[in-house]
Amino acid sequence: CSASPFLDLPPEFRQFFDDQFQFSQPCQKGTQRKEIGGGSGFIIAKDGLIVTNKHVVSDVAASYTVLTNDGKKYDAEILARHPSLDIAVLKIKPLTDSLSVLILGDSGGIKLGQTAIAIGNALGEFRNTVSVGTISGLARTVTAQGGDTVETIEGVIQTDAAINQGNSGGPLLNLKGEVIGINTAMVVGAQNIGFALPINQVKKAIESVKNTGRISVPYLGVRYLKITPDLAQKEKLPVENGVLIRGSEDGPAITSDSPAKKAGLQAEDVITELNGEKLNQDNSLAYLIQKYSIGDKVTLKILRNGQEMILRATLEEKPKDL
């Protein structure tokens, strides 16, 4: 293919060279596929359904390949990425072999000090790496960063089982071999401080994909500020926990035609409880709503102009544009 080394010159100088010299360079034909990263995942259904972290498959323009324990390669299709949790669901296509499936356990029964086993593709090159440790913390809130993405993850499991880059999306198991979490993040520069999403947070997303082919999540339809002692003092609020419903540059306090609007919530209301659970720094409104399903009815305890009120809302599916 023809090429010119003088393209960076100003036009008034380039004219003296372009007609006198001819240069060429190799032509690119087709598209070259190149491996740019790796992560972990686990099979949850014999039809080839796989769960991993959303940040492992965040590039919508990329194609993805699954390598199983026996060394076989499969093309994979991304079925759904969760809008708020670090979860994605893939499917092997076409599926020609019988696959082993992991059993999903119950993360609600996890105890501090119990044994945890992390499995994954450590550092993107050491496949089937197994590390053993203990559950060292529950219901943690961490801020994770990967590439240009920064997000706050609530309710995660802390473990000292070694979780390295490349382990993301792999299973955290109990001694029965049941999945109790999805390895998600680690603390860089610390020794064996890793975090996993509890599997109970993931089950609703899995069922949604199985039933509808996508991940549907409930929403209330409010924008808010988390109340802290400093915010309570600044705004002269009667409580130091909960959320203050208030709009921002992103939009109004109450989304139009939302469950919140239909329930009668207003800007500057303070929500203190949802179905009897108090809102605080470890129990945010968004985290509590994730526990419920579309169509569930929830009871909200609020303060309006200093007066306590009870409102009831029916959660609806979160629109795609929110």
Q: In the 8-state DSSP scheme, what is residue 95?
A: -
* pLDDT above 80: residue 122: no
CA 87 vs CA 26, 204, 220, 227: distances in Å? 42, 11, 21, 28
Q: Which of 55, 82, 208, 258 is catalytic?
A: 55
Residue 127: both structure tokens together? 């496949």
H or E element that contains 226:
strand 224-226
Distance CA(221)–CA(311), nearest Å, equals 14
The pLDDT of residue 23: 46
Distance CA(181)–CA(195), nearest Å, equals 9
The 10s digit of each residue's pLDDT in 66-99 is 888 877 888 899 999 988 888 999 999 877 777 8
Our CA dihedral for 139, 295, 278, 86, rounded to 10 degrees, sits at 20
Distance CA(278)–CA(243), nearest Å, equals 11
The pLDDT of residue 146: 59
Concatenated DSSP letters for 212-228?
Answer: HSS---EE--B-EEE--
CA 142 vs CA 109, 156, 197: distances in Å? 21, 8, 11
Q: Is 256 a catalytic residue?
A: no
CATH number corresponding to 107-212: 2.40.10.10
Q: In the 8-state DSSP scheme, what is residue 318?
A: P
- The residues near 94 (Cβ < 8 Å, ≥ 6 apart) are none
- Domain ranges (residues) in the chain: 42-92, 107-212, 218-317
- The residues near 105 (Cβ < 8 Å, ≥ 6 apart) are 173, 174, 176, 178, 179, 180, 199
The 10s digit of each residue's pLDDT in 93-116 is 877 777 889 999 999 989 999 999
The pLDDT of residue 129: 82
Q: Is 55 a catalytic residue?
A: yes
Higher pLDDT, 187 or 239: 239
Cβ(303)–Cβ(294) below 8 Å: no
The pLDDT of residue 126: 65
The 10s digit of each residue's pLDDT in 212-253 is 888 889 999 999 999 999 999 999 999 999 999 999 888 999
Cβ(57)–Cβ(36) below 8 Å: no
Q: Which of 86, 160, 258, 269 is catalytic?
A: 86
The number of beta carbons lying within 10 Å of the beta carbon of residue 255 is 18
The number of beta carbons lying within 10 Å of the beta carbon of residue 304 is 15
**Mean pLDDT score of the chain:** 84
Mean per-residue pLDDT, 288-312: 94
The 10s digit of each residue's pLDDT in 1-55 is 544 554 555 555 445 454 544 444 565 565 556 666 678 899 999 888 999 999 8
Residue 128: both structure tokens together? 């089937």
* pLDDT above 80: residue 170: yes
Model confidence at 178, pLDDT cuts 50, 70, 90, reads very high
Q: In the 8-state DSSP scheme, what is residue 36?
A: -
Q: Which of 40, 107, 131, 168 is catalytic?
A: 168
Residues in the chain: 322
Q: In the 8-state DSSP scheme, what is residue 142?
A: E
| Topology alike, domains 107-212 and 218-317 | no
CATH number corresponding to 218-317: 2.30.42.10
The topology (CATH level 3) of 42-92 is Thrombin, subunit H (2.40.10)
Range scoring the smallest mean pLDDT among 134-148, 192-206, 250-264: 134-148
Cβ(210)–Cβ(49) below 8 Å: yes
Q: Is 168 a catalytic residue?
A: yes
